[in-house]
Structure 1
Amino acid sequence: MDYVDAIRREAERVFEDKARAAVWLTQRRTAFGDRSALELARDRAGYQQVLETIHCLEHSFGS
């Protein structure tokens, strides 16, 4: 499985904008150990962590 491609598609779906998703995916985040989501999502464990974060964001958008 290409985790980076999968996380990019999921972020684009949630953010509903490729540019906004790209910014979010490439910015370093404290929650990701000062790495970007794309850096973290290179393996299964990192992918799961980023996916969980994206889903938390998705649910907070509706609030």
Structure 2
Amino acid sequence: MERIERVWLRAEQVFGGNAKAAIWLSLSRTAFDCCSALEFASEEAGYQRVMETLERIEHGYAC
């Protein structure tokens, strides 16, 4: 499975569905150097940061 697919599936789990995940993944964010999570996750270091952010969101440590 590719990084982008893993990010997408994890976002769906965290946000409870495709629609909310799509919004979160597509908006640019300062945490990702003003890129969307999908753009930022295209490289390994960015992928790790996106996955860590999703983990924090799931546990209530980020918004």
TM-score scaled by length of structure 1: 0.91
TM-score scaled by length of structure 2: 0.91
Q: Which residue of 1 aligns with 2:56?
A: 56
Distance in 1 between the 2:56 and 2:6 partners?
Answer: 17
Structure 2 residues without counterparts, runs of 5 or longer: none
User: What percent of counterpart residues are identical?
Assistant: 46
Q: Which residue of 1 aligns with 2:39?
A: 39
**RMSD (Å) for aligned C-alpha atoms:** 1.3
Structure 1 residues without counterparts, runs of 5 or longer: none
Task: Check if 1:10 corresponds to 2:10.
Answer: yes
Relative to its length, the structure with more strand (as a share) is 2
